Amino acid sequence: MSELKPWLKLISARPGRLCIGALLMLAALLSGLGLLALSGWFITETALVGLLLAASLPATINLYVPGGGIRFFAVSRTVSRYLERLYNHDTVLRLLTDIRVALFRELASVGRVRRRELTGAQWLSRLTNDVDALDTLYLRLIAPAALAAFVTLLVIVLPAVLFNSAIASGIALILGVAFLLATLAVYLRTAKVTSRQSDQQESLRTAVIEHLEGFAELTAAGRTGKHGAWLLRQAHQSSSQQVKADCRIGWHQAGSNLLINLAAVFALWSGFALFRSGEISGPVLVLIPIALLGLAEVYGMLPEAFGKLGATQASAARLNRDCREDAFSVAAATTVLPEGAALVANDLAVKYPENAPLFTHFDLQVKTGERVGILGHSGSGKSSLADVFSGLLMPSSGACANLPCAYLTQQTVLFEDTLRANLLLASPSATDAELWRILERVDLAERFRSEGDQLDTWLGSSGSRLSGGEARRVALARVLLSPAPLLVLDEPFTGVDRVTREKITLQIDAWLEGKTVISLAHAPDALPGTDRVVQLGL
């Protein structure tokens, strides 16, 4: 359970809200129970009085209190249920925000090397599922379980007062077993199955992705059918596990229902003894079993919620792992930046574990205001070198020192937001005029002036409303906007056609006056203007 601790702490940061929500839930549950129990009492009472009246014997009955009570419960059940749902959905949405913000801050503090393994589409979709599992932890599990326990106690106190303590303890025993059956037992019986299923799901996902990546080879070899059938079997196995868990949940639900009903039968049977001896009246005899029958609804949600607890724990454990700090950080040699230099790299090497080094003994000195181009074929380690310059990656040996830099990564990253918001990341205080000026430099001003929303044009997910070249130029504009004295541009013109590329190269030349620029590309014509060119990997 320890994996849930940080998340429970986060959830319980709103104690007032949780309490009010729980009280509203309690009001709804008690109104439901009260309505049935009081109605049962009332009917029995009237039946007895009716018999006396029919026999012309003197009898009185107070119709106003129970009648009023029944009407009150009917209304309070509706109202409290409505308020409870509204209020608790509000709470869930608030918790959702809390969890996401906290997780985001955690992830932001995790080192880049770790995150590199974590940014695939696969990881992102898993992250969504895992966060979703935690959102409803309070509403589905904690609150209903606590309330069920509380209502159970109330329902046990009732026979203790009205019947006797022996009967009450018998009922308590049966209900205790029913409660355990609906909660802890479900958890114990499904935790292993669901966590196995959750693991299977993960390896299945990997296998499906491998299948799709190798689809051409498999098709050529005529094996897509056989391999696909194997995947189907794996998927089927995983759903069989889920079915197994579902069946167990279902049987536990049925079992706890059975016990609740048996508790009602027990209360009725033992109540008859008291009734015959005149210790209790008929209406009271009926009230308790009917109240007990109403408990079934209170317990209804529990088995399923506890059946998912195993998976929720697994989700929490995965999220905790994702947020784990890097165990090690390489303490690379440091070097001092000499006067007039923008970047000094001494004897750099970058090597990923189990792979040959990308490059070794890389030396570079860049004076302020210099424009340096670095050429290398794909796979030669250009992007890793740029990562080292920008401080995202620690070199495996050597040292690097440089002025503060703005870095255009090889991958174009735009946010699902307005053009303005995307640009302002680099320089939050930039004016609209400045933004237009930089858009002109990258030949995009006309493109966005024609849009109705101008700078507020929505860029869509990952800039999907732009072409690849346009998105690249927005990212380039953003880096150009940055006040940093050193710019590192990794393949700045990916997806930009030759004519535009040449035009932009000319237009940004004046803008870059006084700045130091290091640009990296696979071919000379993909570089903006340079004073000198360095070849990487020769």
Partner 1 sequence: MTELQVESGAVKRWLSGLASGNRRWIQGSVAAGTFAGIATIVQMIFLARIVHLGVIEKASSSVLAPLFTGLVLAIVFRAVAQGVQTHLAARCSEQVRRTARRQIHQHWRHRGPLLLGQTSAGSLAREWIDHVDALHGYFARFLPQMALSLIVPLIILVLVFYLDWLAGIFLLLSAPLIPLFMALVGMGAEKLNQQHFETISRLSGQFLDKVRGLTTLQLFGQTDGAAELIQQRSDHYRRITLKTLRVAFLSSAVLEFFASVAIAVIAIYIGFGLLGYITYGPSSDLTLFSGLLILLLAPEFFQPLRTLSQCYHDRAAALGAGAEILARLGDEPAPNPLAGATEDTIDKRLSVSNPLTHRESVELNSVSLALRADHPILRDVSLSIRKGEVIALTGPSGSGKSTLLHLLAGFLTPDNGNIDLFGKQAGSFAFGWLGQSGFLVHGTWADNLRLTSPDVSDVAIETALRNVGLGPLLDSRKEGIFSTVSEDGQGLSGGQARRLSLARIFVADYDVILLDEPTAGLDSDSEIFVLEALHKLALAGKTLIFSTHHYALLALANRVLLVSGGEVTDV
> Scanning residues 273 to 332, which ones bind partner 1 (CB under 8 A)?
273, 275-276, 282, 285-286, 289-290, 293
Stretch in the footprint of partner 1 (CB under 8 A) among 183-191, 329-337, 348-356, 501-509: 348-356
For residue 361, state whether it binds partner 1 (rule: CB under 8 A). Answer: no
Complex with partner 1: residue 63 or 337, whichever CB lies closer = 63
For residue 416, state whether it binds partner 1 (rule: CB under 8 A). Answer: yes
- Selected from 19, 243, 333, 506, the binder of partner 1 by CB under 8 A is 243
The token pair that represents 12 in the structure block: 């319980």
For residue 531, state whether it binds partner 1 (rule: CB under 8 A). Answer: no
Question: Minimum CB separation from partner 1 for residue 120, in Å?
Answer: 7
For residue 206, state whether it binds partner 1 (rule: CB under 8 A). Answer: yes
Q: Positive or negative CA dihedral for 288, 292, 294, 295?
A: positive
- Selected from 12, 13, 19, 100, the binder of partner 1 by CB under 8 A is 100
Q: Positive or negative CA dihedral for 10, 11, 17, 20?
A: negative
The runs of H, that is alpha helices, within 55-120 are 64-109, 112-116
Stretch in the footprint of partner 1 (CB under 8 A) among 213-221, 338-346, 434-442, 503-511: 213-221
Stretch in the footprint of partner 1 (CB under 8 A) among 144-152, 331-339, 340-348, 456-464: 456-464
Using CA atoms in the order 67, 70, 71, 74, what is the torsion angle rounded to 10 degrees?
A: -170
Stretch in the footprint of partner 1 (CB under 8 A) among 162-170, 186-194, 407-415, 491-499: 407-415
Q: Give the max Cα distance, the chain.
A: 117
Angstrom distance (rounded) from CA 292 to CA 162: 14
Are the C-beta atoms of residues 515 and 481 closer than 8 Å to each other?
Answer: no
Question: Minimum CB separation from partner 1 for residue 250, in Å?
Answer: 3
Question: Minimum CB separation from partner 1 for residue 363, in Å?
Answer: 22
Question: Minimum CB separation from partner 1 for residue 43, in Å?
Answer: 5
Question: Minimum CB separation from partner 1 for residue 530, in Å?
Answer: 23
Angstrom distance (rounded) from CA 43 to CA 49: 10
Question: Minimum CB separation from partner 1 for residue 275, in Å?
Answer: 7
- Selected from 55, 161, 212, 538, the binder of partner 1 by CB under 8 A is 212
- Selected from 35, 145, 314, 517, the binder of partner 1 by CB under 8 A is 35
For residue 458, state whether it binds partner 1 (rule: CB under 8 A). Answer: no
Question: Minimum CB separation from partner 1 for residue 506, in Å?
Answer: 26
Per-residue interface string for the shown chain with partner 1, residues 220-239, x marking contact by CB under 8 A:
xxxxxxxxx--xx--xx--x
For residue 13, state whether it binds partner 1 (rule: CB under 8 A). Answer: no
Are the C-beta atoms of residues 363 and 535 closer than 8 Å to each other?
Answer: no
- Selected from 10, 262, 317, 430, the binder of partner 1 by CB under 8 A is 262
The beta-carbon contacts of 108-111 under 8 Å, at least 24 apart in sequence, are 109/323, 109/325, 110/322, 110/323, 110/324, 110/325, 110/326, 111/325, 111/326, 111/329
Question: Minimum CB separation from partner 1 for residue 371, in Å?
Answer: 21
Name which of residues 58 to 87 contact partner 1 (CB under 8 A): 61, 63, 66-67, 70-71, 73-75, 77-78, 81-82, 85-86
- Selected from 105, 321, 449, 498, the binder of partner 1 by CB under 8 A is 105
Are the C-beta atoms of residues 521 and 372 closer than 8 Å to each other?
Answer: no
276-315 as b/e, with b when 16 or more CB fall inside 10 Å? eeeebbebbbbbbbbbbbbbbebbebbbbbbbbbbbbbbb
For residue 48, state whether it binds partner 1 (rule: CB under 8 A). Answer: yes
Using CA atoms in the order 399, 404, 408, 410, what is the torsion angle rounded to 10 degrees?
A: 10
Q: Could you tell me if residue 537 is left (phi over 0), alpha (psi between -120 and 50 degrees) or otherwise beta?
A: left
Question: Minimum CB separation from partner 1 for residue 523, in Å?
Answer: 12
Per-residue interface string for the shown chain with partner 1, residues 463-502, x marking contact by CB under 8 A:
-x-------------x---x--------------------
Complex with partner 1: residue 75 or 338, whichever CB lies closer = 75
For residue 54, state whether it binds partner 1 (rule: CB under 8 A). Answer: yes
Interacting residues of 100 by C-beta distance below 8 A, sequence separation 6+: 131
- Selected from 12, 129, 365, 507, the binder of partner 1 by CB under 8 A is 129
The beta-carbon contacts of 195-202 under 8 Å, at least 24 apart in sequence, are 195/310, 195/311, 195/313, 195/314, 196/241, 197/238, 197/241, 197/242, 197/245, 197/311, 198/310, 198/311, 198/314, 198/315, 199/314, 200/234, 200/237, 200/238, 200/241, 201/238, 202/126
Question: Minimum CB separation from partner 1 for residue 300, in Å?
Answer: 9
Q: Positive or negative CA dihedral for 372, 373, 376, 379?
A: positive
Stretch in the footprint of partner 1 (CB under 8 A) among 12-20, 104-112, 155-163, 524-532: 104-112
AA letter at 485 = P
Angstrom distance (rounded) from CA 276 to CA 115: 74
